[in-house]
A and B are shown apart, each in its own frame.
Chain A
Amino acid sequence: MEGFLHQIVSGIATGSIYASISLALVMIFLATHQINFAQGEMAMFSTYIALTLIQAGVAYWAAFVITLVLSFIAGMVMQRTVLEPLARAPVLASVGAFLGLLLIFNNIAGWIFTYTLQPFPTPFGAGAPILGGLLSRHELGSTAVTLVVLTAVWAFFRYTKLGLALRGAAYNPVSSRLVGIPVANMLSLGWGLAAAIGAIAGMMVAPIVFLDPNMMGGVLLYAFAGALLGGITSPLGAVVGGVLMGVIENIAGAYIVGTELKLTTALVIIVVVLVVKPSGLFGKPLASRV
């Protein structure tokens, strides 16, 4: 029983990291109806930037903040230079651009930082597991950080004027433009936010899985599954779905299929969701006008 409880609690801890990537994916999907296949590699690259800063002697939290700012700017620049011009092109063009970005980030990271696994520091200290041995300090700390981020994002969208403008731009670009919202800027802002959230997830997951250019492959797949499970049109759903995926991963790994089929588990969940309930737990069914 103790073991089972441990699997659930630590599943929630990794799940909260998946949840932030799922949220970043859903934000971009809602704004542009595109799925960002490069989200994971962007987060991985941000984490390398953080590591470089820390190795250069910058304090952890200072490096954390600098990385966020840099990722935010990079996200905005990418939206402006690569994605914006392809906004009205067929689906294939945007998928191609995302895969291009994925390849570029992955290989440039391998080129600059090599493919060897590197340890990434945690700001929460090593020490013995806490809460009766259920959680490591890092798991508790990273869950807290993600919760703060998710709450902040929610509050931003719910209570600020900028958040409202962003939602408007995503929901109905034409009308938003008519009431004076700079829609293009809002989309860049959304991209910046998604990149920054991804960077946080990268820095939180790196101490657990170690840093290497392919670190985010599995994480991204679980985030996809989480976003679909929760409903690709629902930010709340993305968070719930992401956390659920963390728990499912641990339970399946410990009791059902073992860790060797981790990625296949995600594939099965994606297919099951698409067959049984394509709109996910919280999403709206997608309908198109005929």
Chain B
Amino acid sequence: MNQTNSRMLLIVFVLAAVIVPLVFASGYQLFQLTLVVSYALSVLGKNLVTGYGGQVSLGQGAFYAVGAYTAAILMEHFNVPYWATLPVAAVVTGIVGLALGLPALRLGGLYLALVTFAMAVSVPQLLKYKLFENWTGGVQGIVLLKPDAPFELPLDADQWLYLFTFAVGLALFIAATNLVRSRIGLALMAIRDQPLAAEAMGVELAHYKTITFGVGALITGVGGALGAISIGFVSPDSFSIALSLTLFVGMVIGGASSISGAIYGAIFIVFVPNIAEQISKAVPGAIFGLILILFMFFAPGGIASLITAQLRRLKAVR
């Protein structure tokens, strides 16, 4: 397969991913697919930080929460239209990411994992705090209205939301792909694989790590804002440490050091719990844990690397 062919294939695939659900999926299925896109963006942010940047972040759920609450507060208290909340959510989470990443990234290694873990654990408490209650709605959270399709398009709310989320997601995935292929991406991978050599070649470690952490937080934040808009509700307890752990599972299972891995991971974390929950409420978590350990042992590159290996084998046969 040459490059033009594979690009054509990709375009066909993307078009199918838009059109098929719009035509055939029910409202609830569309909602689930919208969630997949929202989670895929969050996992993508994590992939940039962890998979490409080599920095273990456990607090992506916190950035997701910041993005979601930024969108919700803007819509509820300032009557900002839903689409206009996305850039604001991006900027806010980017800044929060930079501020929190700076001290920990200087030290690197497990310190970042610790700080981000602490962050993820304390987020629900901060959201419930009485001083912010006027803005965040405290324990109650904020209920949002589902936006309707504009320009009198013949789409219902669920269909429009899927289309909108998909478009935003596609744009950010393309941007991330370009980022990874750019100078910054090369510098990052050099830092991840050979920190010493990279530094000797004049790559500024702290500089690039911090930028990536900020960009990762930003993308996750947009994912959070889209999640809030499509669920139509934010509350402190939906952003507990469990969310961060779920996103971590999504990252590992999809494949941390790949862009497409974020999509596989998101599909996994949206659909597998639904299936597993039919057995017991506690089962999805336990299965997530078990699968996490199994992937660490047998497929550290995640589903993305399994697929690449398969494709390569097919090519070799031909």
- Which A residues contact B (CB, under 8 angstroms)? 33-35, 37, 82, 85-86, 89-93, 95-97, 99-108, 110-111, 217-218, 221, 224-225, 228, 260-264, 266-267, 270-271, 274-275, 278, 290
Contacts and interface: CB of A to CB of B under 8 A. Distances in A.
Contacts of B130: 260
Contact of A267 (B109, B119, B196, B241): B119
A25 B286 CA distance: 23
B149 interface: no
B285 A106 contact: yes
A95 B252 CA distance: 11
Contacts of A266: 118, 122
Contact of A107 (B111, B125, B283): B283
Contacts of B104: 271, 274
B180 to A, nearest CB: 18
12 contacts: A82-B293, A86-B297, A95-B58, A100-B290, A104-B293, A107-B284, A108-B286, A224-B118, A267-B121, A270-B115, A271-B115, A274-B107
Contacts of B289: 99-105, 107
B296 A270 contact: no
Given A100-B291, A100-B296, A267-B118, 9 more contacts: A86-B297, A92-B50, A97-B296, A107-B285, A108-B282, A111-B283, A221-B122, A225-B118, A261-B126
B186 interface: no
Contact of A260 (B50, B128, B252, B256): B128
Given A91-B109, A93-B296, A270-B115, A217 B241 contact: yes
A88 B295 CA distance: 16
Contacts of B292: 96-97, 99-100, 103
B282 A96 contact: no
Interface string B178-207: 000000000000000000100000000000
Contacts of B58: 37, 95, 99
Contacts of B293: 82, 96-97, 100-101, 104
A35 B114 contact: yes
Interface size class of B (residues with CB under 8 A): 35 or more
B113 A35 contact: yes
A275 B129 CA distance: 25
Interface in B266-292: 280-286, 288-292
Interface in B82-119: 100, 103-104, 107, 109-111, 113-115, 117-119
A276 to B, nearest CB: 9
Contacts of B117: 37, 221, 224
A98 B124 CA distance: 23
Contacts of A107: 282-286, 289
A105 B114 CA distance: 20
A284 B248 CA distance: 31
By secondary structure, the A interface counts as helix
A35 B110 contact: yes
A228 B114 CA distance: 10
A224 B130 CA distance: 26
Contacts of B218: none
Contacts of A262: 125
A37 B244 CA distance: 13
Given A85-B297, A91-B56, A100-B289, A274 B111 contact: yes
Contacts of B115: 267, 270-271, 274
Contacts of A89: 296, 300
Nearest to B280: A111
A103 B196 contact: no
A261 to B, nearest CB: 6
B245 interface: yes
A278 B130 CA distance: 32
A261 B281 contact: no
A93 B294 CA distance: 11
A228 B111 CA distance: 9
A275 B103 contact: yes
A104 B285 CA distance: 7
Report, nearest first, the 10 A-B pairs whose CB atoms are least far apart. Answer: A103-B289, A107-B285, A111-B282, A104-B289, A100-B292, A100-B293, A263-B122, A107-B286, A110-B282, A267-B118
A35 B103 CA distance: 19
B56 A92 contact: yes
B282 A91 contact: no
A99 B245 contact: yes
A37 B58 CA distance: 11
A224 B285 contact: no
Contacts of B286: 103-104, 107-108, 111
Nearest to A276: B103
Contacts of A102: 245, 289
Contacts of B284: 107
Contacts of A225: 118
Given A260-B129, A263-B125, A270 B248 contact: no
A131 B249 CA distance: 49
Contacts of B249: 99, 103
Nearest to B288: A103
Contacts of A82: 293
A262 B118 CA distance: 12
